[in-house]
């Protein structure tokens, strides 16, 4: 079965991470499938909302680290950048259901969702610095805006996980729910949105994001340049190799 499942019903296009044995870490092929699904959802008038979900135990462990090591994204047409562009520009509402770990882009993609429901086992983290990297997907701009600077510095410089209740307090999630009910609750909310007039949804989202969008697109590009360079540098190579070898990284020489 595919690592990304896409199912459209009642105006909701549901994208499910389906690579649980690898903690739903995201490969280039998966980014391409998600970009396709989001682009199709944007173009299809029968789709009013996208829902992104994992299962009750794991949302996503972020980018596949073996891909980072062996086939890092090389330019702006790489699937990860296509996915980011499609999601950041998506004109209709996006809902997410998050249970278990949400690492790296597993957390930063939530900044581009309109409604986020979290299981009480959700653990969010943006460990870019720990991997010799910098923030991506606009998170260097959106996290300070949402969290306040000092909490953003804790999340992005220390890279420590924070749990669902903290995410609720910050405003990253709308509601904390039992993990076994999370996907169903998010689906219900997505269907409520899908029953509303599409033009009103699209115009309201556009107005709420107006002013933010040009700066966000520019920041995603600038982060992408730095991130792409840093992926190839010794600190990140050591972090990825250490993860694959199941040992602690040694940054003493980098
Ligand atoms: N890329 C590639 N493989 C990954 C992965 C990733 N991002 N995250 C997990 N996996 C794989 C593990 O290598 C392991 O594979 P194996 O069974 O073949 O050995 C399997 O998924 C299970 O992972 P494991 O670490 O044993 O699960 P856990 O429950 O102990 O921990 C996480 C879960 C998500 C906390 C942990 O896997 C993790 O920290 N992953 C890396 C997250 C990361 O740094 N992502 C990049 C962000 S930019």
Tell me if 39 sits within 8 A of 1, measured CB to CB. Answer: no
pLDDT of residue 1: 86
Residue 76 has pLDDT above 90, yes or no: no
Ligand 1, CB within 6 Å, residue ranges: 22-23, 25, 61-66, 101, 103-104, 127, 131
Q: What integer is the mean pLDDT of 47-53?
A: 98
CA of 212 to the centre of ligand 1 (A): 33
Nearest-CA residue for atom 8 of ligand 1: 61
Computed over every residue of the chain, the mean pLDDT equals 97
Q: What integer is the mean pLDDT of 215-243?
A: 96
pLDDT of residue 75: 86
CA of 65 to the centre of ligand 1 (A): 8
The strand order across the sheet containing 123-125 reads 101-103, 123-125, 162-163
**CB burial of residue 200 (10 Å; 0-12, 13-18, 19+):** exposed
- Tell me which residue has tokens 């994208």: 15
pLDDT in tens, 109-164: 999 999 999 999 999 999 999 999 999 999 999 999 999 999 999 999 999 999 99
pLDDT of residue 126: 98
Pocket test for ligand 1, best of 20, 25, 242 (most atoms within 8 A of CB): 25
Q: What is the CA radius of gyration of the chain?
A: 17
Task: At 42, list the tokens.
Answer: 């944007």
Tell me if 250 sits within 8 A of 234, measured CB to CB. Answer: no
Residue 228's pLDDT band (boundaries 50, 70, 90)?
very high
């Amino acid at each position: 079965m595919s690592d990304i499942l896409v199912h459209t019903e009642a105006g909701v296009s549901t994208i499910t991470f389906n690579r649980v044995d690898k903690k739903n870490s995201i490969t280039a092929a998966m980014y391409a499938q998600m970009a396709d699904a989001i682009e199709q959802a944007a173009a299809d008038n029968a789709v009013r909302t996208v829902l992104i979900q994992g299962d009750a135990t794991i949302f996503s462990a972020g980018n596949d680290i073996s891909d980072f090591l062996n086939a890092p994204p090389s330019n702006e047409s790489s699937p990860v950048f296509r996915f980011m562009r499609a999601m950041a520009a998506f004109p209709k509402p996006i809902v997410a259901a998050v249970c278990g770990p949400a690492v790296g882009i597993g957390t930063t993609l939530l900044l581009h969702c309109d409604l986020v429901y979290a299981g009480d086992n959700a653990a969010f983290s943006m460990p870019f610095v720990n991997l010799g990297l910098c923030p991506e997907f606009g998170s260097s701009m959106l996290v300070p805006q949402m969290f306040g600077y000092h909490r953003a510095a804790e999340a992005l410089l220390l890279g420590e996980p924070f749990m669902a209740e903290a995410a609720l307090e910050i405003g990253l999630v709308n509601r904390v729910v039992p993990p076994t009910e999370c996907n169903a609750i998010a689906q219900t909310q997505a269907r409520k949105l899908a029953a509303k007039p599409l033009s009103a949804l699209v115009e309201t989202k556009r107005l709420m994001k107006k002013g933010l969008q040009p700066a966000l697109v520019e920041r995603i590009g600038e982060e992408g340049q730095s991130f792409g360079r840093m992926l190839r540098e010794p600190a990140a190579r050591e972090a990825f190799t250490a993860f694959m070898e199941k040992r602690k990284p040694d940054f003493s020489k980098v």
